[in-house]
């Protein structure tokens, strides 16, 4: 069965420092990968998805099929980036069987 | 546009009681999801509807959980009877599938259930 792991429960960085939130997945096929974010007192929302090849709020994520990873990166963290980040996987072409990772809480310190 | 609506926002019940949650998706969104999020974990998909048909309920504990989506719009998730381990936030999400199989899911605020 497909699985998503995020090894860090909490990641603290200083403002202006680079940040990388790790995500690894297990799935034998070619899944679609996503990052969802939940800011304090807000709803869970899509940050970015691999298929769109986009950069949102300065964040990018590269799919590495060899390492089965989809790490989220930002060169200069801002305090407003503090939130809960979830990596997620859709294993097929129909958007079914969606799987979320356990999440990483990012804290950007002033 | 109005977002996904859920009610109630909070519910406290005793074990073995029944409880129901309601979700109203974004207008025009044919796909509706129910997730269970236990404290400290990521959301776990319980059931996915396409219009009023079920496309995935493989992780729904069918001995106690049930869900329906009459007329392909609103949905109700029920737990009967509840157990202590059902304490969680229940999230509803919807998406517009014609945007593609990997279209964005829009989430509601969730219902926090506490089972005593």
| B25-46 confidence digits (pLDDT tens) | 999 898 999 999 999 999 999 9
So what's the pLDDT on residue A103? Answer: 98
So what's the pLDDT on residue B114? Answer: 98
DSSP-assigned beta bridge partners for residue A105:
A10, A84
So what's the pLDDT on residue B2? Answer: 77
Which of B35, B55, B110 is nearest residue A96 as measured by Cβ atoms? B55
Report residue B83 as tokens. Answer: 């157990």
Report residue B116 as tokens. Answer: 């005593």
Angstrom distance (rounded) from CA A52 to CA A50: 5
| A26-51 confidence digits (pLDDT tens) | 987 788 899 999 999 999 999 998 87
Angstrom distance (rounded) from CA A86 to CA B30: 24
- The answer to whether residue B94 scores a pLDDT higher than 60 is yes
CB pairs under 8 A between A and B: 58
Name the helix (H) or strand (E) containing A74. strand A69-74
Cβ separation A93–B104 shorter than 8 A: no
Please state, as a whole number, how many other Cβ atoms lie within 10 Å of the Cβ of residue B2. 7
Q: Which residues of chain A have pLDDT under 50?
A: none
Residue A9 CA to its chain's centroid (Å): 13
Please say whether the beta carbons of B57 and B46 come within 8 A: yes
So what's the pLDDT on residue B100? Answer: 59
> Per mean pLDDT, which range of A30-34, B58-62, B85-89 is the poorest?
A30-34
Instruction: Provide the pairing of β-strand A32-38 with A45-49.
Output: antiparallel
So what's the pLDDT on residue B1? Answer: 54
Interface of B with A in 27-66 (CB under 8 A): 31, 33, 35, 40-45, 48, 55-56, 58
B107 falls in which pLDDT band (50, 70, 90)? very high
> Per mean pLDDT, which range of A38-47, A50-59, B1-10, B69-78 is the poorest?
A50-59
Quick check: helix, strand or coil at residue B97?
helix
Q: Is A70 on the interface with B (CB under 8 A)?
A: no
A77-103 burial, b for 16+ CB within 10 Å, e for fewer? beeebbbebbbbbbbeeebbbbbbbeb
So what's the pLDDT on residue B96? Answer: 86
DSSP at A109: E
- Using a CB-CB distance cutoff of 8 angstroms, which residues of chain B are in contact with residue A103? 41-42
So what's the pLDDT on residue A44? Answer: 97
Nearest CA in chain B to A46: B104
- Using a CB-CB distance cutoff of 8 angstroms, which residues of chain A are in contact with residue B43? 44, 86, 100
- The answer to whether residue B67 scores a pLDDT higher than 90 is yes
Give the DSSP letter string of B43-77. -EEEEEEETTEEEE-TTS-TTTEEEE-GGGS-EEE
């Amino acid at each position: 069965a497909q699985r998503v792991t995020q090894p860090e429960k909490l990641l603290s960085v200083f403002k202006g420092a680079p940040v990388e939130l790790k995500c690894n997945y297990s799935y034998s096929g070619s899944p679609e990968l996503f990052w969802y974010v939940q800011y304090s007192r807000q709803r869970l929302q899509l940050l970015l998805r691999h298929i769109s090849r986009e950069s949102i709020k300065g964040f990018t994520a590269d799919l590495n099929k060899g390492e089965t990873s989809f790490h989220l990166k930002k060169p200069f963290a801002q305090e407003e980036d503090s939130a809960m980040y979830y990596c997620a996987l859709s294993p097929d072409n129909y958007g079914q069987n969606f799987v979320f990772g356990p999440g990483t809480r990012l804290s950007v310190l002033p | 546009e109005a977002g996904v609506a859920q009610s109630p926002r909070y519910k406290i019940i005793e074990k073995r009681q029944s409880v129901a949650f309601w979700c109203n998706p974004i207008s025009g969104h044919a796909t509706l999801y129910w997730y269970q999020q236990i404290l400290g974990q990521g959301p776990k998909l319980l059931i996915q509807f396409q219009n009023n048909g079920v496309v995935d309920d493989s992780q729904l504990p069918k001995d106690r959980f049930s869900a329906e989506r009459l007329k392909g719009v609103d949905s109700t998730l029920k737990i009967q009877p509840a157990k202590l381990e059902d304490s969680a936030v229940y999230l509803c999400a919807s998406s517009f599938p014609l945007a593609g199989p990997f279209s964005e899911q829009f989430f509601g605020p969730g219902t926090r259930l506490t089972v005593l």
